[in-house]
Structure 1
Amino acid sequence: MTRKPARLLALAVTTVTAAVVGAVPAQAAEPYCGITWGSLAKAADDSDAEVVTRVRAGRHACFDRLVIDLGGHDATFGSYAVEYVPLVRQDGSGADVPVRGAADLQVVVKAPAYRDGTPTFEPVDRQEVVDVSGYSTFRQVAWANTYEGRTTLALGVRARLPFRVFSLAGTASTGPRLVIDVAHAW
């Protein structure tokens, strides 16, 4: 084969390859577990619950969950502010509330953890409000105080990961709940 036909053959192969590759649509990477939440601050100021009554956590296949149980007469709740911050600060004093993990998620619930000066929820250990050892994403849940009608928690997270916040309506036997889910990955 002479040089000219070899070049033409190489050009033809390149053109056909480019046409085939260009015709295949690019595959967009699927989000982890279909999660599209993002990591920006989330807040609502729809209603107030009377008091915080319990804090608990759970593990799911794609995310870790923090649940704040609320008492009161309202069947719904929607007053909160949840965001990643450089460091959570204690309500009232402004003292640092350091937590384990590479990211700090500040959870503010517009409900106190007391009624008429009597606690409705008081963590046994302010540094370990909920045992999250062995969780994929959560590293620590710390108490940052209840002050002037609001309660703040510091949630130590493995990394700045997507999260969502929503409330669940109360029933005849339970009050509403605030739910914070943090994904295991992006």
Structure 2
Amino acid sequence: MRRWGTAAAALVLAAAGLATTAGAAAAATGPVGGAGRVGGAGRTGACATAWGSGDKSATDAYAAPLTNIRTSRNACYDRMVFDIGGASGKAGYHVGYVSAFHQDGSGERIPVKGGAILQIFVSAPSHDPSSGKQTYAAQAGKPLPGVHLAGYRTFRDTRFGASFEGQTQVGLGTRAKLPFRVSRSGHELIVDVAHTW
């Protein structure tokens, strides 16, 4: 009888250990999250945001057009994704904080809500260069179509600037001047802005 009691106690302890390990793993990780998905319940202390807030750029360029801009939320940052149709190379970009957002080409000031403004240039036009047909239906000075920021911790506002001389300009209003990073994956250019320093 004593052996059965010892065996049962060992099974209970093993099951508790597995549950604790699974819970810790779920809390420590979480999906990066595509557009429309919220990232996992990651711990704030585990967020790596040593990206800095200085300008970031790459000069790679190709003529593929911009087809969509979408956003998503993660436990550590808010994300904006630029979809570049048919792209096989890498998109060039220049991303940095500005004191005011001015439309590329005309220089007209476009108000952007938030504590800081992140200006994003992507080396992809919002139209097909060969036909001139619009591939991303946005209007200068207006919010980005289909992008809704309710519930976001960092993003506050979006404004389309222009598609001028082969590049597209977007103004992203953020809660404050926070760390950000830029990465490229396949036909996507990704801008992540951290929730905290």
Normalising by the smaller structure, the TM-score range is 0.7 to 0.9
Say whether the 8 Å CA contact 1:49–1:71 is kept in structure 2.
no
Q: Which has the higher strand share?
A: 1
Tell me which amino acid in the other structure corresponds to 2:135: T
Residues 4-46 of structure 1: per-residue CA shift (max 9 Å, x gap): xxxxxxxxxxxxxxxxxxxxxxxxxx97712210000000012
Give how far 1:49 is off. 4.4
The 3-state SS of whatever aligns with 1:118 is coil
Q: 1:183 to 1:49 in 2, by over 3 A?
A: farther
Give TM-score scaled by structure 2 length.
Answer: 0.71
How far residue 124 of structure 1 moved from its aligned partner, in angstroms, is 7.1
Q: Give the equivalent residue in structure 2 for 1:112.
A: 125
Tell me how far apart the structure 2 counterparts of residues 180 and 157 of structure 1 sit (CA, whole Å).
12
State the number of aligned residues: 150
Q: In structure 2, what is the Cα distance between the partners aligned to 1:183 and 1:32?
A: 12
Unpaired segments ≥5 residues, structure 1: 1-29, 170-175
Runs of at least 5 residues in structure 2 that lack an aligned partner in the other structure: 1-43
The answer as to whether partners of 1:76 and 1:168 remain within 8 angstroms in 2 is no
Query: Quick check: 1:85 aligned with 2:98?
Result: yes
Q: CA deviation at 1:134?
A: 1.7
2:138 corresponds to = 123
1:114 partner SS: coil
In 2, the alpha carbon distance for the partners of 1:124 and 1:145 equals: 8
Shift, 1:123, TM fit? 2.6
- TM-score of the two chains, using structure 1 as the length reference: 0.76
Q: Which has the higher contact order (CA 8 A, sep 6+)?
A: 1
Corresponding residue of 1:146? 163
Q: Which runs of 4+ in 1 moved over 6 A?
A: none
Partner of 2:11: none
- Backbone CA RMSD of aligned residues: 1.8
| CA radius of gyration, larger in | 1
Q: Which residue of 2 aligns with 1:15?
A: none
Pick closer, same or farther for the CA change 1:124–1:98 going to 2, 3 Å.
closer
- Tell me, yes or no, if the aligned pair for 2:110 and 2:141 is still in contact at 8 Å: no
Q: Sequence identity, in percent?
A: 42
For 1:184, the equivalent position in structure 2 comes to 195
C-alpha separation in 2, matches of 1:89 and 1:35: 28
Return the alpha-carbon distance in structure 1 between the equivalents of residues 81 and 51 of structure 2: 18
